[in-house]
Amino acid sequence: MVMSASGRTAGRAHEVRSGRRTGTTTAAVLAIVGLGIVGFAGCSPHRPTPKAEADALAAALTSGDFTHVALAAGAPDAAALTAARTAAFTGLDGADPAVSVTSVSVDPKDSTKATAGLHWEWDLGTAKPWTYDVTTQLDLVEAGGTSAWKAHWRTSLLAPDLADGEVLTEQRVAAERGTVLAGNGDAIITQRPVWRVGIDKTHVDASGQDAAARALATALGMDPAAYAAQVAAAGPKAFVEAITVRQGDATYDIGALRKLAGVNTVNDSLPLAPTRLFARPILGQVGQATKEIVDGSHGAIVAGDLAGLSGLERQYDEQLRGRPGLTVLATAGAVKRQLFHTDAVAGVPLQTTLDVRLQTVAEQILAPVQGNAALVVLRPSTGEILAAASGPNGDGTSTATVGQYAPGSTFKVAGALALLRAGLTPDSTMPCPGKAVVDGYAFNNVSDYPASALGDIPLRTAFAHSCNTAFVGQAGTVDANALLAAARSLGLDPAPSLGFPAFLASVPTDSTGTDHAASMIGQGRVLASPLGMVTVAASVAAGHTVTPVLVKASAGTATAGANGAASGGTSPSASASASSSGAAGAAVPSPSSSATEPATPAKPLTQEEATTLRTLMRGVVTDGTATMLRDIPAPEVDAKTGTAQFQGPQGLANHAWMIAIHGDLAVAAFVETGDLGATTAGPLVHQLLVAAG
């Protein structure tokens, strides 16, 4: 019986003895060897294969752990190999490779030798990965009655022709960041000149650096101790930036700052909006990538890169930032050779619908308003958001798009639609008493409600003068689901997916009694944002349900996380408990249970319904609470005012609202703490419509 090198019985020899031709057997073995399935002719099913060792080597090259790799004589030990790999790749900023086996072939003339092909792939954050192929020889080694395949080691297994002492380094070229575009295609955010202001440690002696840092921090309103510590920790020749200032910003006296000891101002540019506060809660900011952003980018962003820090800039950062250009060099002292290069790929612009002029006008109008406030302008024919301004004196939240507040009597547009669907007409008569009591709670009208509009009045009069008691009295005509259905038909989607963080409205479906009566006048558990209420006005103007649009789709535009907190999060409800619009006396308690809203599609708003609603809204301007809009030049203006009481820190306070339609413009104005919708929000709408022309 023929024995193998290890002393085991060779099965192929047995087959020959059984009368099979040796030539046929050899050909079959070579065919199997060519597929890399067995190591050599005559091996048993239990003999190791070169493929297993090649896989182990690939895993070690990927991870840096060489403890489970069998290497041929003369190779460094596992610890030395790990150290060599780490040293060679130090300049690649922690990027991780993936190494795989592409082929294993046994030498047909010597079954104790094989060749393995290895494929490297590096994701360096570039448009295409860096890939290359290397090969290594494997030998079958017999020792102590056992056999094992062992791979030959050479430094060039790490990178093409890499020699001992060479290390890999990378040179990155930042991609041109994509711009954020206005609705007309002009760039909103583009490179604009800035001053980087800080302490230059080469401009002041070491003994004076602490005092210099504290003086600059004090002048800028920063924490002197924290900035002084930052300066102290920096290198002996470092420039430690304290603030970046838009050139021409009158808020900062750059000349005076330059006179401070150790201060240097560096001329630079950054991608910025037209003004310091232009749509900031929505657009967000661009700046040096934070550690959190770097760590979460999987190598696509490195320290020092610019990245979107908030808002749309953060949400669409991958699209906007593009891909950096990169050169990988093998370096030994002053000698460098290029192993890989890819050009930078510019970011893809983000197309928005904003009108720069209207956004700027809206922000100027809101500048003197205290606290949270918003003006939103929408084009009904397209749903495009032309302006979404949040007041500069609020909490920094995008009040315009994610604020959650009781909409007050502006929500009576939804209540009126529900009543129309229940069979009422603008001429249907309903009682409007001075007070309406539901389950012991009193609902009142505003203090200056006209006595001439009390008693039995038509729906159009109740709507024009915003009679709370009339709408509360109709709570039995439409239930909670009918009211929600009307709100949905007007665009108040409880879970919108719009491509940017947004809240439109929340309307309860389980309300009864006092709770449902409060819903009829936009209070209780009803919540809406200024964006939601301008969508109501736009739907009435368009004659169909409108969906607001801010970001236009383009190649590369992704909307993942569209309703996340990119704009700074959602403001907490300011309407934990509310009473009737402009009511005096006890507030309507807000039930603790949250509203549950169906996900079924809204019933479409019809043109006939919209025409009737628009007629009702026109009556608010001609005869009701929005007469301050009568003098707006044609086309005629239709509107609805709203006042919603809420429990503030000093007791009951009022949210002030107004929505309006003017040609192909829909407008919503909101002030968190004001007087009445007519007296606080009305003038804001008037200013905007006059400025809009």
Helix segments in 370-512, DSSP class H: 399-402, 412-421, 459-464, 468-473, 480-489
CATH topology of domain 11-173: Nuclear Transport Factor 2; Chain: A, (3.10.450)
Domain map (residue ranges) of the chain: 11-173, 190-278, 356-552+570-692
Q: ∠ CA 370-372-377 to the nearest 5 degrees?
A: 110
Angle between helices 412-421 and 607-622 (to 10 degrees): 130
Lowest-pLDDT range of 8-12, 239-243, 378-382, 534-538: 8-12
So what's the pLDDT on residue 605?
96
The dihedrals phi and psi of 291, each to the nearest 5 degrees, come to -60, -40
As a whole number, mean pLDDT of residues 568-575 equals 34
So what's the pLDDT on residue 601?
57
Domain made up of 190-278: CATH architecture: Alpha-Beta Complex (3.90)
The dihedrals phi and psi of 545, each to the nearest 5 degrees, come to -70, 125
The mean predicted confidence, pLDDT, of the chain is 87
Give 464-497 pLDDT, tens digit per residue: 999 999 999 999 999 999 999 999 999 999 988 9
For the domain 356-552+570-692, what is the CATH superfamily, name and number?
DD-peptidase/beta-lactamase superfamily (3.40.710.10)
pLDDT of residue 588 exceeding 70, the answer is no
So what's the pLDDT on residue 231?
97
Which element (helix H / strand E) includes 14?
A: helix 11-17
Would you give the DSSP letter of residue 239? E
Tokens for 352, please give them. 């928005």
pLDDT of residue 82 exceeding 70, the answer is yes
Token look-up 């159009």 returns: 460
So what's the pLDDT on residue 338?
97
So what's the pLDDT on residue 95?
85
Pairing of strands 350-351, 180-181: parallel
pLDDT of residue 7 exceeding 70, the answer is no
So what's the pLDDT on residue 191?
87
Pairing of strands 263-272, 527-528: unpaired
CA within 13 Å, CB half, 631: 6
Give 298-309 pLDDT, tens digit per residue: 878 888 888 999
Q: How far apart are CA 687 and CA 684, in angstroms?
A: 5
Would you give the DSSP letter of residue 627? G
**Model confidence band, residue 76 (pLDDT cutoffs 50, 70, 90):** very high
**Model confidence band, residue 10 (pLDDT cutoffs 50, 70, 90):** very low
| Type of residue numbered 497 | S
CA 212 to chain centre: 39
Q: Quick one: CA torsion of 149, 152, 153, 158, rounded to 10 degrees?
A: -90
**Model confidence band, residue 17 (pLDDT cutoffs 50, 70, 90):** very low
Which element (helix H / strand E) includes 689?
A: helix 682-692
**Model confidence band, residue 78 (pLDDT cutoffs 50, 70, 90):** very high
Pairing of strands 429-432, 455-458: antiparallel
So what's the pLDDT on residue 24?
39
pTM: 0.76
Give 106-121 pLDDT, tens digit per residue: 999 999 999 999 999 9
Helix segments in 431-521, DSSP class H: 459-464, 468-473, 480-489, 513-519
CA 37 to chain centre: 50
Give 339-352 pLDDT, tens digit per residue: 999 999 999 999 99
Where in 296-358 does DSSP place strands (E)?
Answer: 306-308, 325-332, 335-342, 350-351
CB 314 within 8 A of CB 290: no
